[in-house]
Structures are given as C-alpha cells and as structure tokens.
C-alpha cells in the first residue's frame, strides 16, 4: 500500500499504455544518439509490451503498488516461453501446452526492464512513488524470480483459506466437471500441512488412513523417507467430503484428479492456487506459490511456539537446521513477543 499523502500537482495520471508509448519514444531516441544499441532497445520494447499486457493497458501507472508489481513479475515467470517449447506430440503440436516457463535469465532481464521503466516514470513525474522500492520479488540469475518473503501473514493466510472453503461451482459447468471441492482441499492441505508440491501430486487415496479416530496422511518424501502427519479435524472432514462427493469415480489411485480422471501435475496446482487467490478480499490478497504456502505453514507453527522438532517432522526435514530457511519474519512479531514476555506475566497464585 502506498503511503497516504497529497498528490503533487505536476503528477501526470498516465495509463500503463500511455506511459509505455512515451517511454518507447525515449528508448528510440537513445538508439538514434548511440546511447543504446538496437538489440537492447528491441529487448526493452518487447519486455515493456509484455508488462503492458500483464498490468492492463488502461490501468493508471501511478495506481500500481509493490504487490501489483510482484504479481506481474511472478505472472511473467510462469508465462510459457515459445522459444523454449518442450517436445510435443499428437494434439499438442503447434500449441503452447508443452512450452516451458521463462528461463531464470529472462525473468531477471524482465525485472530490469520494468525497473528501468519505473525509474524513468519517477523522474518524469508519472508516479509519485516508485513501486519497485516496495516489490518483494528479487531477480536471481540462477534461480529466477523469487519473493524475498514467501510466507503469507496470518490475515493473508486466513483470507486464502476462507476463499477456498467458500468456493462455489463455476456457472455452466456440468456436475462431472466441477472441481471446487478438490481445489479447496489442495489449498487447505498446502497451507495447513505444508507438503512439497511433488508430495501432494504424488499422494494416493490409500495414503490416508484412520488410527484411533485420527485421520493421518502418510507422505512419501525425499530420499524414500515417509512421515505420518495427523490432519486437523476440519481438514479431515474436507478430505472425506471430497472422497465421497468430489472425486471422479475411477480406478486411478491418485488423490487429486482432473475432471477427466487424470492425476494432476505440479503446474495444475499453481493454477488452482491462482484461481483461489483471485477470490480473496483484495485487502488480504497476495500471490503465492505452493512453496510459499509451505513457508507459511512453517512460519506460523513456529511463531505459535510449536515444538521445533514437531514442525521438522511435519515438513519432513532431516534436521532442525533446515527449518531456518523456512522461517520468515512476520510483521509485528517482535512487538507481540515482547508484550507477552514470560517474565512479565503475573505470577500464578500458590496452590
């Protein structure tokens, strides 16, 4: 969110498309003067055109926030790159179904192009605050675009869970094509249990069992290791409802199926999350990946003083030291910790 303040009188309320056109004129002028090579100018032009398409040409440039920029950068990262199409056969030929996502270098380059656009926009008075300064997505040449802080805050996580539980059938879909129960289960399992996305799509119906009235998920993790994680009651109820009414009748063993009865792939899971995120109240909405939801699970369990070894076993880590990479800072966390300091609590009366 941008800080509240008086908008300067000289600020130009340009749309994204208008700003891109004016910036394009500047880039072309630099080519004429020799300050920029034609090849570099072509790359800038292509990236800015993509930015316009992702941001929306009629969006006012100054209305874009750091969260908006994050969403645009991550949307570009997932955008199929036709130049890196995977081998295709049959009906996939000639389509983008088999195309791979953008390379790490392309993602970093796109971020630099967008940053250059906003740097000029700030100097030209098109924006009162450069949203790149508030963006949390950073460019890594080897790892691509990653959010610095991946875990959702408690409010953001609750908003996502509420949106998942409130999913309704899409208009016009036949009963056998409805996936809202499956999609809700995907988001809830990722947010509450924190499995790796590979563990989720690999899960079979038989991996879920009941012992002494508690529903467990036997997760097959890295290195052939397994772990049995108990599910909270409401999550177990969602699972049972999905198995009874939401999962297609098929001999396929996979827990998560497309409406055609095929096991979901990793990319399908991200598409499900994106659909649910769009239904979250904008005040609590933030783009997130399956791995970001795994960070969310770890962060909030640890912030709530859950035993570190228990959290390690839930996530399937070999040792406690690995948890440090999954523990993100939360806004206001230190203030809450100091307000409830154990040494300042009233002493319990002697019994």
216 is catalytic: no
Catalytic residue among 150, 294, 295, 312: 294
CB-based burial label for 201 (10 Å; 0-12, 13-18, 19+): buried
326 is catalytic: yes
Q: Residue 68 is encoded by which pair of tokens?
A: 């908006």
Q: Tell me how far apart the alpha carbons of residues 210 and 216 are, in angstroms, rounded to a whole number.
A: 6
SS3 of 316, please? coil
SS3 of 315, please? helix
Candidates 253, 350, 347, 287; CA nearest to 136 is 287
Catalytic residue among 79, 150, 196, 247: 196
Q: Taking a C-beta distance cutoff of 8 angstroms, is the pair 293, 194 a contact?
A: yes
23 is catalytic: no
142 is catalytic: no
What's the Cα-to-Cα distance from 116 to each of 13, 20, 53, 121, 131, rounded to whole Å? 19, 11, 17, 9, 12
CB-based burial label for 88 (10 Å; 0-12, 13-18, 19+): middle
Point out which residues pair with 15 in neighbouring strands: 60
337 secondary structure, DSSP code? H
222 is catalytic: yes
196 is catalytic: yes
For residue 263, report the phi and psi dihedrals to the nearest 5 degrees.
-60, 135
Give the DSSP letter string of 144-211.
EEEESS-SPPHHHHHHHHHHHHT--PPTT--GGG--HHHHHHHHHHHHHT---HHHHHH-BGGGEEEE
Catalytic residue among 83, 119, 222, 313: 222
What's the Cα-to-Cα distance from 104 to each of 74, 100, 136, 139, 144, rounded to whole Å? 12, 12, 17, 8, 4
What's the Cα-to-Cα distance from 178 to each of 169, 242, 247, rounded to whole Å? 6, 11, 9
Q: Taking a C-beta distance cutoff of 8 angstroms, is the pair 312, 319 a contact?
A: yes
Catalytic residue among 182, 227, 295, 317: 317
Residues annotated as catalytic (active site), given as ranges: 196, 222, 291, 294, 317, 326
């Amino acid at each position: 969110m941008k800080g509240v303040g008086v908008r300067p009188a000289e600020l130009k309320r340009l749309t994204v498309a208008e700003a891109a056109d004016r910036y394009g004129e500047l880039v072309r002028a630099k080519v004429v003067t020799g300050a920029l090579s034609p090849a570099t100018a072509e790359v800038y032009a292509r990236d800015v055109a993509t930015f316009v398409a992702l941001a929306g040409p009629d969006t006012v440039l100054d209305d874009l926030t750091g969260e908006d920029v994050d969403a645009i950068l991550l949307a570009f990262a997932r955008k199929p790159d036709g130049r890196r199409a995977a081998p295709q056969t049959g009906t996939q030929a000639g389509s983008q179904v088999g195309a791979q996502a953008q390379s790490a270098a392309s993602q970093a380059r796109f971020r630099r192009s967008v940053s250059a656009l906003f740097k000029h926009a700030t100097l030209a008075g098109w924006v009162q605050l450069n949203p790149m300064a508030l963006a949390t997505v950073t460019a890594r040449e080897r790892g691509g675009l990653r959010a610095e802080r991946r875990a959702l805050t408690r409010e953001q996580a609750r908003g996502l869970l509420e949106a998942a539980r409130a999913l309704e059938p899409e208009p016009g879909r036949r009963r056998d094509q409805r996936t809202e129960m499956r999609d809700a289960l995907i988001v809830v399992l990722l947010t509450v249990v924190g499995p790796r996305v590979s563990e989720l799509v690999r899960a079979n119906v038989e991996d879920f069992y009941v012992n002494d009235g508690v529903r467990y998920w036997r997760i097959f993790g890295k290195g052939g290791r397994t772990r049995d994680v108990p599910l909270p009651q409401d999550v177990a109820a969602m699972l049972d409802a999905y198995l009874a009414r939401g999962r297609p009748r098929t001999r396929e063993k996979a827990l998560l199926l497309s409406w055609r009865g095929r096991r979901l792939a990793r990319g399908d899971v991200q598409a499900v999350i994106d659909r649910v995120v769009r239904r979250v109240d904008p005040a609590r909405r933030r783009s997130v990946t399956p791995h970001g939801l795994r960070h969310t699970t770890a962060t909030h369990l640890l912030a709530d003083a859950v035993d570190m070894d228990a959290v390690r076993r839930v996530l399937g880590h070999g040792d406690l030291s690995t948890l440090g990479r999954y523990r993100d800072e939360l806004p206001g966390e230190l203030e809450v910790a100091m307000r409830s300091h154990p040494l300042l609590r009233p002493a319990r009366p002697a019994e």
